[in-house]
Amino acid sequence: MNGDLIKKMYREFGISDKVIEMSSRIEKELKERFDAVDAVAEYNQMKVLKAFRRNQVSEAHLGTSTGYGYNDIGRDTLEQVYADVFHTESALVRAQITCGTHALTVALAGNLRPGDEIFSPVGLPYDTLQGVIGIRKEKGSLAEYGVSYAQADLKSDGSFDYEAIKAGINGRTRLVTIQRSKGYASRPTLSVEAIGELISFVKKIKPDVICMVDNCYGEFVETIEPSDVGADMVVGSLIKNPGGGLAPIGGYICGKKEYVDNAAYRLTAPGLGRELGASLGVNPAFYQGLFLAPAVTAAALKGAIFAARLYESLGFKVIPNGTEERYDIIQAVELGRPEYLEAFCRGIQYAAPVDSHVTPEPWDMPGYDSKVIMAAGTFVSGASIELSADGPLRAPYTAFFQGGLTYAHAKLGIMMSLQKLCEEDDSVMP
Ligand SMILES: *Cc1c(COP(=O)(O)O)cnc(C)c1O
């Protein structure tokens, strides 16, 4: 393939030679890094296929059910495939799970009773979970049902505060919630290995406590999952990594049979549990999405690494930085100025497959204390495994971005973001 042809195409997108040349230089430096990401994807692709083969996934499983959804073999087999991929006894993978927050809510509410306490050894959980637990007052929170909450913060260097954890676990502690990804907080994302060490420590203090991991954004980034290192439940969203960009909705809970069953009684109704829940035509997308998930996650990761190195080399602070190990697909770039953040998001939007003609504007989003700007031109509304970016309009004007169904698209989006930044201020790139 003639490199000039590719260049010509980038120029047609309005990208300057300066940006094109810098990007190709950065990309060349990343070869080893990308090879390592591809090796993880290769392993995970086989892990997924092994589960498909073991469960003899066949055409009959791609069918659908309606109404009560009794005996949906496609749905039930898919759940066994998930259980095999995550090496758990059981799994609940449903279109009726609205989003990641709902999956976590069902896992918590199904397994907690009045008087129980939830303990987080990794600081405050994700924003929406704070409302679910009742750390932030919300109607219907677990706090209203008599479930209390306690936490131990991470130390300032990001490590576990074992003393505080030991002190925080008491007779009422029934469930320990561990968030793998930093989400939009400033702490580091946890490696699966670190999660394993934390779980061992917790289980030594209290062997019968349920260890639940919020696995959002972490699936398939490593060759092992938290369920491989002792987690009793791992929970996540299908419009992030494991849906592979194809799942139009859904969430999963994988873990010990008893805990997954308890969650199912909460998702549908006591006494009904997992027997009900029509798949409404989503089975093919769930299977094919899981099949693609390792490759899609790798594409998103490569995009994040490319962006980190590109922006880092221009002097911006990036988290994680261009060389450190990664345990989720989120990339933060501190842009320092509101007009830079807006330009960055414009670039991501202009490279999108859907709504590339619209210009994102900052708006007053409910629940935020400053305006927020979002760039997303996704096939599945709000899907963050597809290339998307957002950031609050307040110092240090950080763009959080993630996703990219293909590396070529993630790369184009990031090059476009830099192009828009240069158009805003040509001193960005000397
Ligand atoms: C995305 C996410 C969730 C759930 O978010 P939804 O928007 O409800 O899908 C929970 N925890 C973390 C760490 C996340 O990244």
Q: What is the pLDDT of residues 381-425, one digit of tens each?
A: 999 999 999 999 999 999 999 999 999 999 999 999 999 999 999
Q: What is the DSSP letter of 249?
A: S
Task: With beta carbons less than 8 A apart as the criterion, state whether 219 and 253 touch.
Answer: no
Mutational test site, ligand 1, from 104, 187, 216, max ligand atoms within 8 Å of CB: 216
Q: Does the beta carbon of 88 sit less than 6 angstroms from any atom of ligand 1? A: no
Residue 324 has φ and ψ, to the nearest 5°, of: -75, 160
pLDDT band at 223 (very low <50, low <70, confident <90, very high): very high
Q: Does the beta carbon of 190 sit less than 6 angstroms from any atom of ligand 1? A: no
pLDDT band at 311 (very low <50, low <70, confident <90, very high): very high
pLDDT band at 64 (very low <50, low <70, confident <90, very high): very high
pLDDT band at 1 (very low <50, low <70, confident <90, very high): low
**pLDDT at residue 187, as a whole number:** 85
Distance CA 88, CA 174 (A): 20
Distance CA 420, CA 269 (A): 51
pLDDT band at 185 (very low <50, low <70, confident <90, very high): confident
Quick one: three-class SS letters along 392-415? ECCCCCEEEEECCCCHHHHHHHHH
Query: Can you tell me whether residue 11 is helix, strand or coil?
Result: helix
Cα of 126 vs centre of ligand 1, distance in Å, is 7
Distance CA 148, CA 322 (A): 40
Q: Does the beta carbon of 303 sit less than 6 angstroms from any atom of ligand 1? A: no
Q: Does the beta carbon of 216 sit less than 6 angstroms from any atom of ligand 1? A: yes
Q: Is the peptide bond before 396 cis (omega within 30 degrees of 0)?
A: yes
Residue 384 CA: which ligand 1 atom is closest?
1
- For 98, other C-beta atoms within 10 Å of its C-beta total 15
What single string gives the DSSP state of each residue in 165-221? HHHH--TTEEEEEEE-S-TTSSSPPPPHHHHHHHHHHHHHH-TT-EEEEE-TTTTTT
Percent of the chain with pLDDT over 70: 100
Question: 301: Cβ–Cβ under 8 A, 6 or more apart, which residues?
Answer: 37, 221, 326, 329
Given a cut of 90, whether residue 370 has pLDDT beyond it is no
Given a cut of 80, whether residue 367 has pLDDT beyond it is no
Task: With beta carbons less than 8 A apart as the criterion, state whether 85 and 290 touch.
Answer: yes
Query: Can you tell me whether residue 125 is helix, strand or coil?
Result: coil
Given a cut of 70, whether residue 166 has pLDDT beyond it is yes
Cα of 235 vs centre of ligand 1, distance in Å, is 10
If you average pLDDT over residues 263-282, what whole number do you get?
Answer: 97
Residue owning tokens 């999405």: 289
Mutational test site, ligand 1, from 129, 214, 380, max ligand atoms within 8 Å of CB: 214
Task: With beta carbons less than 8 A apart as the criterion, state whether 148 and 135 touch.
Answer: no
Q: Does the beta carbon of 100 sit less than 6 angstroms from any atom of ligand 1? A: yes
Closest to 306 (Cα-Cα) out of 411, 201, 178: 411
Q: Which two tokens stand for residue 182?
A: 């930093």
**pLDDT at residue 110, as a whole number:** 98
Residue 382 CA: which ligand 1 atom is closest?
7
If you average pLDDT over residues 320-348, what whole number do you get?
Answer: 95
Q: Does the beta carbon of 249 sit less than 6 angstroms from any atom of ligand 1? A: no
Given a cut of 80, whether residue 203 has pLDDT beyond it is yes
Residue 220 has, within 13 A of its CA and on its CB side, a CA count of 33
Distance CA 48, CA 293 (A): 9
Residues in the chain: 430
Q: Annotate 185-220 with b (16+ C-beta within 10 A) or e (fewer).
A: bebbbbbbebbbebbeebeeebeebbbbbbbbbbbb
Distance CA 393, CA 315 (A): 20
Given a cut of 90, whether residue 430 has pLDDT beyond it is no
Q: Does the beta carbon of 105 sit less than 6 angstroms from any atom of ligand 1? A: no
If you average pLDDT over residues 172-185, what whole number do you get?
Answer: 93
Beta bridge partners of 389: 375, 401
Cα of 31 vs centre of ligand 1, distance in Å, is 31
Distance CA 118, CA 5 (A): 57
Sheet hosting strand 388-392, strand order edge to edge: 317-319, 331-334, 398-402, 388-392, 372-376
Distance CA 320, CA 372 (A): 22
**pLDDT at residue 35, as a whole number:** 98
Helix or strand run (H / E) with residue 295: helix 283-313
Cα of 112 vs centre of ligand 1, distance in Å, is 20
Question: 251: Cβ–Cβ under 8 A, 6 or more apart, which residues?
Answer: 93, 94, 97, 98, 99, 100, 102, 103, 106, 235, 236, 237, 238
Sheet hosting strand 233-237, strand order edge to edge: 90-94, 251-255, 233-237, 210-214, 173-179, 117-120, 148-151
Q: Does the beta carbon of 217 sit less than 6 angstroms from any atom of ligand 1? A: yes
Q: Does the beta carbon of 179 sit less than 6 angstroms from any atom of ligand 1? A: yes
**pLDDT at residue 256, as a whole number:** 98
Q: Is the peptide bond before 207 cis (omega within 30 degrees of 0)?
A: no
Given a cut of 90, whether residue 374 has pLDDT beyond it is yes
Query: Can you tell me whether residue 256 is helix, strand or coil?
Result: coil
What letter represents residue 129's amino acid? L
Please report the sign of the dihedral spanned by the C-alpha atoms of residue 416, residue 417, residue 421, residue 427.
negative
pTM metric for this prediction:
0.96
Given a cut of 90, whether residue 317 has pLDDT beyond it is yes
Distance CA 171, CA 165 (A): 14
What letter represents residue 16's amino acid? S
Q: Does the beta carbon of 126 sit less than 6 angstroms from any atom of ligand 1? A: yes
pLDDT averaged over every residue in the chain: 96
Residue 237 CA: which ligand 1 atom is closest?
9
Distance CA 403, CA 331 (A): 9
